[in-house]
Structure 1
Amino acid sequence: MARHQDSTVKPYHFTFVISIICIALFALALPNLAIIHTNELLNYQYDAIEHGELWRLVTGNLLHTNGWHLAMNLAGFWVIIFLHELHYKNHTGKLILLFISLCLLEGIGLFLFYPSLKAYVGLSGLLHGLFTFGAIMDIKKGLLSGYFLLLGVIAKVAFEQYFGASDGISSLINARVATESHLIGVVAGLICALVWSPMAHKFKHSK
């Protein structure tokens, strides 16, 4: 009997959909196409969230400051999915749930621990979480590379907390690099990895 795949939707399908959403939201915010002011409605704004606009906790991750910001984040997204495809290729639902969880944890983390950060957009915090999660899954599969990836992302974020991000990147994206979001992303990735393993084990043995 042929083995059935868990889903007809594959990781790259989901990555493509998210990419299209990010590109569409960016295009809608362009001055000559500004039919809907997506940035004003959807970006992470601390004060607006405090007044009940909770969707911004998630949607702020999907917006970008300019074309370079968008291109770098989407390139990073595709590279990370390619790097850790083995963890999602038969479990795209896992990737979708992880993406949503990281979006939410990123927004909540910034809101709770960095109230001085009044506005934020971009996938970079979430990407740090996705990278961290993948590295830990590598380690759990016995891949030595997982240790190097995990140590690398921790070292990068620790460096940023003390010395800040590159001035060149800030100039390129026309905004200060929110290194706080990278730290929150790594912590969110660790939390998701720690929670996922026992949940997956319980689900596997409950079938």
Structure 2
Amino acid sequence: MERFNQYWAGLVLVLMFSAFLQLMPEWHPLLTFNSDNVMAEGWPLITAHFIHLDWWHALFNFIGLALIVLIWREFWTTRWLVNALLISGVLTSVVLWIIPIELTFVGLSGVLHGLLGYCLIKDIRSGKKWMWLILVALVTKVIIELLGWQPDHFVGEHVSYIHAAGLLSSLVLYKLERRRLSDAVMRDE
């Protein structure tokens, strides 16, 4: 069981799940985030992040996830990786649902921004102060995207909102890491 709790097992599990969903294009309309009906259905809060526009989109997201997990492997266990993906996915989706624009999306890029931000914050807090440069660069990139700059590879006009919402989730991930649900419950002493 200990081997399953290592970071690579979580990475393989998530990649296999996402690849399986990618092989089921007939399910994609049901799993896609659409701000008009996401709260009525519920599951697209999570599932939209694990399906992609096509296999190239999936491949780049898979590579991004693998790099984040491999570079910062000391931060991940299978349980925390899956939890972080779910927490970041739901938070990203809820933020996107709250903002007053009609939005439809699939893909992991928002969550990847959240995971990357989380890892950078962890590195900074552990004494690697130079990571501030990378975190500032990431935040600056997202702000510039929000101001209207969009590279040619962006698909859709609202990708900047997805990246910003994902980046916001990194703060919650840092706050929640390694906490047990039982720690949040008030006890009468």
TM-score range, shorter chain: 0.7 to 0.9
Render the CA deviation track for 1:8-56: whole Å, top value 9, x for unaligned. 3221111111111221211211xxxxxxx21111110122224x10111
Match of 2:142 in 1: 157
| Bigger Cα displacement from structure 2, 176-185 vs 126-135 | 176-185
Match of 1:99 in 2: 85
Distance in 2 between residues matched to 1:127 and 1:121, nearest whole Å? 13
TM-score of the superposition, structure 2-length normalised? Answer: 0.87
Distance in 1 between residues matched to 2:4 and 2:56, nearest whole Å? 32
Q: Which residues of structure 2 form unaligned runs of 5+? A: 184-189
> Alignment partner of 2:4: what SS?
coil
Counting only pairs closer than 5 Å after superposition, residues 1-207 of structure 1 correspond to structure 2 as: 8-29=4-25, 37-50=26-39, 52-88=40-76, 91-113=77-99, 115-167=100-152, 169-170=153-154, 175-176=156-157, 178-196=159-177, 199=179
Deviation at 1:110, TM superposition (A): 0.6
Deviation at 1:190, TM superposition (A): 1.5
Render the CA deviation track for 1:150-185: whole Å, top value 9, x for unaligned. 112111111111133202x13xxx544611010001
Distance in 1 between residues matched to 2:161 and 2:122, nearest whole Å? 24
Render the CA deviation track for 1:36-81: whole Å, top value 9, x for unaligned. x21111110122224x101111111111111221111111000111
Distance in 1 between residues matched to 2:79 and 2:130, nearest whole Å? 25
TM-score of the superposition, structure 1-length normalised? Answer: 0.80
Distance in 1 between residues matched to 2:64 and 2:27, nearest whole Å? 23
Deviation at 1:148, TM superposition (A): 2.2
RMSD: 2.2
> Alignment partner of 1:64: what SS?
coil
Contact kept in structure 2, 1:106 and 1:185, CA below 8 Å = yes
Contact kept in structure 1, 2:31 and 2:47, CA below 8 Å = yes
Q: Which amino acid aligns with 1:131?
A: L
Q: Which amino acid aligns with 2:133?
A: F
Identical-residue share of aligned pairs (%): 22
Q: Which protein has the larger Cα radius of gyration, Structure 1 or Structure 2?
A: 1
Distance in 1 between residues matched to 2:158 and 2:65, nearest whole Å? 17
Deviation at 1:6, TM superposition (A): 6.1
> Alignment partner of 1:19: what SS?
helix
Q: Which amino acid aligns with 1:117?
A: E
Equivalenced residues, count: 182
